[in-house]
Structure 1
Amino acid sequence: MKTTVQTLAGSRIGLFIDGRFVAPRSGTYVPSYDPTTGEPWYEFAQGDSDDVAEAVASARAALADPAWRRMTQTDRGKLVRRLGDLVLENADALARLECRDNGKLLKEMRAQMRAIPDSYLYFAGMADKLQGDTIPVNKLDTLNFNLREPLGVVGMIIPWNSPLMMLTGTLAPCLAIGNTVVVKPSEHAAASSLALAELVIEAGFPPGVVNVVTGDGATTGEALTRHPGIAKYVFTGSTATGRRIAANAAGNLAPCQMELGGKSPQVIFSDVDIDRAVNGVVSGVFAAAGQTCVAGSRCFVERPIYDRFVEALVARTHRIKVGHPQEEDTDIGPLALAAQLAKVEDYVASGTREGARVAAGGRRPQDPELARGWYYEPTVLTEARNEMRFMREEIFGPVVGVAPFDTEEEMVALANGTDYGLASGVWTRDIDRAMRFARTIEAGTVWINTYRSAAYMSANGGMKNSGYGRRGGFEVMREFSRLKNVVIDYSSAMQDPFVIRLR
């Protein structure tokens, strides 16, 4: 892989179209900033509508090319498996790219890069398992069956918090099915997507099967989501941006698959092991500096243990180390963007104005070595109420609000009292109670006595303002294929041409 941290630093990198890097039509490049210092470290191309049109044309040409269109399902699976192998071979370099680009912990990025190949392997095995159906009909001498086919060109708009992991969840099944793709990574973390494009060619995929256009949302993203050559869109990001993309896509009747914002509840009942539950809450909201869609940022604790739980949570939060993401003992690195840091500060300030109490954190670290970066301490706000702004809106930072509850009915109302429905967690030893929670909670994922536990074999996604469509498991294969019905009449009878044949 050529696009390593060493070769990328201080350089310019173009758009990846038709199997090679090309300069943007405008000649414009934009700096990407290192969150640990706030300084630029490389420049990416600012694509415009002409660049997007070229990428879509490349993807459409690859879709029609017999080298891809006529490739057997088994051979497509072999290519997908080879791509996973290359990700594993280059895991350390890819991890360092993402660490430098978005500030995520190097140890977490390494773990992600070692896990991502398993997802490619899983969907590689699915490539020749996507089957149609033979349908029994009330007509003699008729064969009626369904075929599963590729959708066409899929447009993917990828977030900055875990670019390759989020990309893999839809790229692997799309390629296994036989689609081609145009990827627009976030302008805040494009390096790893561009590096992956190189590996796609090395794996043996025909040029044009995967294209990467970089740039901002207002120009590049807008052009991509309005292009009539896209068959379906994938988007992960904010609800507001998701609405904009859906509106643009509707103009071309293109469907979307969206994973949007979240304001996920974690519910703690009084029968739990408090230390274990505290560990789960810490994992759910402070890992990745809270920059995950499923962050369990609303914590509801049964009143008999509320004070003890808060005391334990605050003590555990004070032991979290904020530091440089490449240091092995760091627990939380910087936020990915300067604007995100300002947003987190604003939410904490609004919470205290509305009556919440800062029990831990609530400020930037005092360590002078971190002063240039976009760091923020893990923050616990107690005396929280659902109607407070920081409890209603997605923060995307290391902030949790903690509130007590008295009854199970009250807990359900609190947990469901949000516009979002992406994920949820419950901590209890009572299996009956846990199953009642799973049935009544309005969320696409329910974790019981665990949190932030991902598996590429299971379908996941949101409801309400957290989006629609599912990723993972065999369900995603249906998302990115289309059904075609075929009817064969093998009788010798002559039909009345003016009467529909119902029997």
Structure 2
Amino acid sequence: MAKELKLYINGKWVDSSNPEKQDILNPANQEVIAKSPLATVEETEEAIKIAKLTFESGVWSERSPLERSTVLLQIAEKMEEHLEDIIELEIQNNGKTRREAQSDATGAVYTFRFYAGLLNNHKGQIYEYSEKLQTMIVKEPMGVAGLIVPWNYPLLMSVWKIAPALAAGNCILLKPAEITPMTAVKVFEIIDESDLPKGVAQLIMGSGSKVGQAIAESDDVDVVSFTGSTAVGRNIMQAAAGNLKKVSLELGGKSPNIIFDDANLETAITYSLFGIFMGSGQVCSSGSRILVQEGIFDDFVAEYVKRAKGIKVGPGNDENSQMGAIVSEKHMEKILNYIQIGKEEGATLECGGNRIERDGMHRGFFIEPTVFTDVTSDMRIVREEIFGPVVAIQKFKDEAEVIRIANDTEYGLAGAVFSKDQNKAMRVIKKVRAGITWINAYHLTNIQAPWGGYKQSGIGRSLGTFGMDEYQEVKQININLETKPIQWFE
């Protein structure tokens, strides 16, 4: 029987006044696993009001760093106790493979622990202007943080926002994607069992056009953190302009993965496969444009296509599956449409390109790993974010050309260079206009390092100290050590 989900407002699980429900599907078989509420604008505004009043009460914002750290560690411990349940929910609701869901779940636990530890080491500054004046720089919580997360990393993106926002002393309002709320609900069940004061954290499920818009527009929301498409990010910025609230955006990408002639071919191929087909390509930082130097182009393509054909696609709960389902039928159709566009544009389809319907997979949303060659930089499949298991491989001659091709995009989220010449690799990666980059690797990340992009890939950074800064105001306090009158006008 499908689980009936509820909103979490002011420390209580409540039904929405809207009788309409959203069916939550398992993308591997279209089984309805839950029914999710679609909150009204009025309910969203009430949750924001509660968050604001709770913040102003100081019940959380005025707690010491040690006290806040203790609660975050408590949440991490409870998450670890429920780790298998969380993994299973992520597989069922998103279509991830077990290996991917396991990585996300352990990463979420570590994120809470990281920010719990950072709280006790996140220091301000003191400046000596003169012997009479000291200036202190302190960081304070912003107030109410509206957190809007995507469907591709329902758990990890939620925690990447929740943990630093709470660590900074804010009250939060989380809106998960309409189609993937399951792990967010589980996190809030854990929060409900913790010592976090009631009213600090609210969970609102609903549409982006209503709930997301209300969060972005509200004068009582002090900061909005959004991860998703660039188009929606623009809408968030416009909606947030009403009270000039701070906006943090992690948006789309069309990231270049550069392979030089002198690269270790095996390393380059394996990381390039991982770079696009991990997460079924539904990853903002995917290396969806592979740029290969002409001397090894044919050898690279031949082996890459062979390996791509060998990737085992299947349901996430099958231990043998290496690539899981597409998150929804709507998104699957979008990807298939882009594949058709690629063929019409004249690109060569080296492998894949089809929906998989064998072995019972006709009930789910599966697409073959898809590789295009003979592409040019003006093609839509090269310029636009497909957000699926589709990669375009392009040939280049030299450094100057590949840098030009790599940066010929409105995006700037990620990029990589593969070469045995470390000087060349460093020289090129420094010229790639992107916020997350690798040399001789792809997708390897460190929670202590900032995550975010250049250009239309977003504004602001997640993770590390930078992630906590997104939820804090910076205040200077000037202390006059000599209390004599100033006599400015004497």
In the superposition, the TM-score normalised over structure 2's length comes to 0.97
- Secondary structure of the 2:415 match is strand
Shift of 1:130: 2.3
Counterparts in 2 of 1:52 and 1:498: CA distance versus 1, 3 Å: farther
Cα distance in 2 for partners of 1:461, 1:67 equals 32
Q: Give the corresponding residue for 1:3.
A: none
Q: Deviations over 1:55-111 (max 9, x none)?
A: 112212221334323321111011111111111111110111111111111221022
Cα distance in 1 for partners of 2:449, 2:166 equals 19
- Secondary structure of the 1:67 match is coil
> Which amino acid counterpart does residue 387 of structure 2 have in structure 1?
F
Q: Give the corresponding residue for 2:312.
A: 321
> Which amino acid counterpart does residue 271 of structure 2 have in structure 1?
G
Q: 1:23 aligns with which of 15, 23, 48?
A: 15
Cα distance in 2 for partners of 1:431, 1:340 equals 39
Q: 1:193 aligns with which of 178, 184, 191?
A: 184
Q: Deviations over 1:98-129 (max 9, x none)?
A: 11111111221022212321221111011122
- The yes-or-no answer on 1:433 pairing with 2:424 is yes
- The yes-or-no answer on 1:265 pairing with 2:256 is yes
Which shows bigger deviation, 486-495 or 377-386? 486-495
Q: Give the corresponding residue for 1:92.
A: 84
Q: Give the corresponding residue for 2:222.
A: 231
- The yes-or-no answer on 1:134 pairing with 2:126 is yes
Mapping of residues 308-347 of structure 1, within 5 Å = 308-347=299-338
> Which amino acid counterpart does residue 455 of structure 1 have in structure 2?
N
Q: Deviations over 1:254-293 (max 9, x none)?
A: 1111110000011111112222211111100011100000
Q: Deviations over 1:169-216 (max 9, x none)?
A: 221111111111100000010111111011112121011111110011
Q: Give the corresponding residue for 1:489.
A: 480
Cα distance in 1 for partners of 2:483, 2:378 equals 71
- The yes-or-no answer on 1:117 pairing with 2:103 is no
Cα distance in 1 for partners of 2:132, 2:224 equals 40
The question of whether the paired residues in 2 share the 8 Å contact of 1:325 and 1:333 is answered with yes
> Which amino acid counterpart does residue 441 of structure 1 have in structure 2?
V
- Secondary structure of the 1:146 match is strand
Shift of 1:330: 0.4
Which shows bigger deviation, 217-226 or 411-420? 217-226
Cα distance in 1 for partners of 2:279, 2:134 equals 54
Cα distance in 1 for partners of 2:325, 2:485 equals 74
Cα distance in 2 for partners of 1:37, 1:66 equals 47
- Secondary structure of the 2:59 match is helix
- Secondary structure of the 1:446 match is strand
Q: Give the corresponding residue for 1:77.
A: 69
> Which amino acid counterpart does residue 37 of structure 2 have in structure 1?
A
The question of whether the paired residues in 2 share the 8 Å contact of 1:239 and 1:467 is answered with yes
The question of whether the paired residues in 2 share the 8 Å contact of 1:169 and 1:456 is answered with no
How many residues are matched? Answer: 490
Q: 2:206 aligns with which of 215, 219, 224?
A: 215
Q: Give the corresponding residue for 1:104.
A: 96
The question of whether the paired residues in 1 share the 8 Å contact of 2:95 and 2:316 is answered with yes
Counterparts in 2 of 1:315 and 1:492: CA distance versus 1, 3 Å: closer
Shift of 1:366: 4.2
Shift of 1:487: 2.0
- The yes-or-no answer on 1:401 pairing with 2:403 is no
Q: Deviations over 1:357-393 (max 9, x none)?
A: 1111011124151112111000001111111001000
Q: Give the corresponding residue for 2:40.
A: 48
- Secondary structure of the 2:295 match is helix
Cα distance in 1 for partners of 2:134, 2:255 equals 49
Q: 1:411 aligns with which of 399, 402, 406?
A: 402
Cα distance in 2 for partners of 1:200, 1:177 equals 17
Q: Give the corresponding residue for 1:379.
A: 370
Cα distance in 1 for partners of 2:87, 2:322 equals 16
- The yes-or-no answer on 1:370 pairing with 2:361 is yes
Mapping of residues 52-63 of structure 1, within 5 Å = 52-63=44-55
Q: Deviations over 1:381-427 (max 9, x none)?
A: 11111110010000010000001111110000111111100000111
Q: Deviations over 1:456-476 (max 9, x none)?
A: 111121011100101111122
- Secondary structure of the 1:136 match is strand
Cα distance in 2 for partners of 1:229, 1:205 equals 21
> Which amino acid counterpart does residue 36 of structure 2 have in structure 1?
F
Q: Give the corresponding residue for 1:478.
A: 469
Cα distance in 1 for partners of 2:483, 2:268 equals 71
Shift of 1:249: 0.5
The question of whether the paired residues in 1 share the 8 Å contact of 2:262 and 2:420 is answered with yes
Cα distance in 1 for partners of 2:264, 2:135 equals 57
Q: Give the corresponding residue for 1:6.
A: none
The question of whether the paired residues in 2 share the 8 Å contact of 1:130 and 1:477 is answered with no
The question of whether the paired residues in 2 share the 8 Å contact of 1:169 and 1:471 is answered with yes
Q: Deviations over 1:293-341 (max 9, x none)?
A: 0010001101011000000001101110111111011011110011111
Structure 2 residue ranges without an equivalent (≥5): none
Shift of 1:241: 0.1
- The yes-or-no answer on 1:172 pairing with 2:163 is yes
CA RMSD of aligned residues (A): 1.4
Q: Give the corresponding residue for 1:5.
A: none
Shift of 1:168: 1.6
Shift of 1:492: 3.9
Cα distance in 1 for partners of 2:196, 2:252 equals 33
- The yes-or-no answer on 1:183 pairing with 2:207 is no
Structure 1 residue ranges without an equivalent (≥5): 1-8
Q: Give the corresponding residue for 1:4.
A: none
- Secondary structure of the 1:436 match is helix
- Secondary structure of the 1:30 match is strand
> Which amino acid counterpart does residue 323 of structure 2 have in structure 1?
I
> Which amino acid counterpart does residue 412 of structure 1 have in structure 2?
I
- The yes-or-no answer on 1:293 pairing with 2:293 is no
Counting aligned pairs with the same residue, the percent is 32
